[in-house]
Amino acid sequence: MAQAEILVTGAGGFIGGHLVAALRRSRPGAIRAVDLKPPESWYQRFADVDNRQLDLRLRPHCTEAAEGVEAIYQLAADMGGMGYIENHKAACMLNVLINTHMLVAAQERGARRFFYASSACVYNADKQRGGEVTPLREDDAYPAMPEDGYGWEKLFSERMCRHFSEDFGLQIRIARLHNVYGPFGTWDGGREKAPAAICRKVAAAVASGDHHIEIWGDGRQRRSFMYIDDCTEGIQRIMASDVDVPLNLGSSETVTIDGLVDVVQEIAGIRLRRSYRLDAPTGVNGRSSDNTMILERLGWHPSIPLGDGINKTYAWIYDQYLAREKRLPHQV
């Protein structure tokens, strides 16, 4: 295999797997893919990619990963949906080890460009408490009051990226990702995000005939959700651009959690009785992406409609759910 020119970390995960799939269409044989998990358990794996199992919390593993590459897409992180990040704050903060060691490795090994996958969790919580959603602009990250744990780590790592650019000339590109969803990702087990969790619950209702769903919170929390194809397109555009400040990468189309359930149940062809778990983790009341800057700087913004993306996502999760049910032993 030829020497890799591009490194994708977190490649065994949801976004990383899709990004490798997108990059290899234009750069076959030029990609090194790295993840903590063994390659056989990755969501997507490709034979023409240099696939490696490395623990990027360890500096020597970051050095190995960055050897000889020109561009690094740093997506590796210990994270999940709101239920995970609210209950694993220390684990999420330890992601700073990955980002620190990867920046050092990039600088020492001569990489030219470094993409950092940040998050909308960096935004000031006071701007997200009301029932009405005001789209978040890039400068709304300060004064700093991000999501506790995960959001603080992301915001700190953004600053570290900035200073590596200032001090060492590393070309940094940063995207603040807003609620990415789609197939080939976590849909059960506690790390899944709201679209995948709701698709799974609807699939279970269809399969069991028990048309009931439990919703975390009161159903009125409002979000924007970006389909994975928009995400990978945006990442590549941002990496290729001259924009050296963080950019929102998210959909501007918003929906309540109840509205998201409406979309999924319509696709499934059922109607659900709803109960609301008010003590469950829900995050902020409202969050949406202001896409003014990305449109001005790149002439592009995420535009795949929610209904189109959820249709594909539900179909994949429904198949995954049925396949798992067939494998599991059932009590009589």
pLDDT, residue 331, reads 46
pLDDT, residue 130, reads 67
Please determine whether the domains at 6-181+226-249 and 194-223+253-288+305-327 fall in the same fold group of CATH: no
Task: Identify the residue with better confidence: 221 or 4.
Answer: 221
Query: Annotated catalytic sites, by residue?
Result: 150
| pLDDT tens figures, 45-65 | 999 999 999 999 999 999 999
Q: Is the domain 6-181+226-249 a CATH 3.40.50.720 member?
A: yes
Domain-wise residue ranges, the chain? 6-181+226-249, 194-223+253-288+305-327
Residue 131 confidence class, pLDDT cut points 50, 70, 90? low
CATH topology classification for 194-223+253-288+305-327: UDP-galactose 4-epimerase; domain 1 (3.90.25)
Residue 83 confidence class, pLDDT cut points 50, 70, 90? confident
Residue 290 confidence class, pLDDT cut points 50, 70, 90? very high
Asked if residue 140 lies in contact with residue 261, where contact means CB atoms within 8 angstroms, the answer is no
Q: Is residue 262 scored above 80 in pLDDT?
A: yes
Q: Is residue 271 scored above 50 in pLDDT?
A: yes
Q: Is residue 116 scored above 70 in pLDDT?
A: yes
pLDDT, residue 329, reads 65
Residue 1 confidence class, pLDDT cut points 50, 70, 90? very low
Q: Is residue 15 scored above 50 in pLDDT?
A: yes
